[in-house]
Amino acid sequence: MTHNLQIVDYGLGHPGSVHDAYAFQATRLAREHELVLPAEHWVWADSAYPLELWCLSPFKRPRGGSLSRQQSIYNQYLSKVCVQVEHAFAALKGRFQSLQELRLQIQSKQDLYVAIYWVECCLILHNMIVHFETGK
């Protein structure tokens, strides 16, 4: 949420080498967007995500061409939203320094679950802190 840096959806369990678009397919938002998003709402996303009526991503410059003025303005607004998302990640990692470099050796499924639960706990605590700090 760009206005308070809360994290409302996330996907965990994929290694860092997995493409964002593939990992996104495992999120609740991607699977159940009609239940998660109120009517006539959408999400902003970067160019790695699918273009859907509920998932808007930036315009890509056509090969050998250029974007229209409106497309460029749209992309500028979207860029500002993406910066806010990065601010949310920075706030999360600033609060929970262990997330900057999670030093866990993943050698089994159990190890993976420990890492997932660790990150999930940090996400939940982050949202609780934001909630209590803002009073909302």
- Residue 1 has a pLDDT of 63
- Residue 78 has a pLDDT of 86
> Is pTM beyond 0.85 here?
no
C-alpha–C-alpha distance, residues 45 and 111, integer Å: 31
| pLDDT lower than 70: segments of the chain | 1-3, 136
- Residue 39 has a pLDDT of 85
C-alpha–C-alpha distance, residues 88 and 117, integer Å: 19
Q: Quick: pLDDT tens for 95-133.
A: 999 888 878 788 888 988 888 899 999 999 999 998 888
Please report, for the chain, the start and end positions of each structural domain, with discontinuous segments joined by +.
8-57
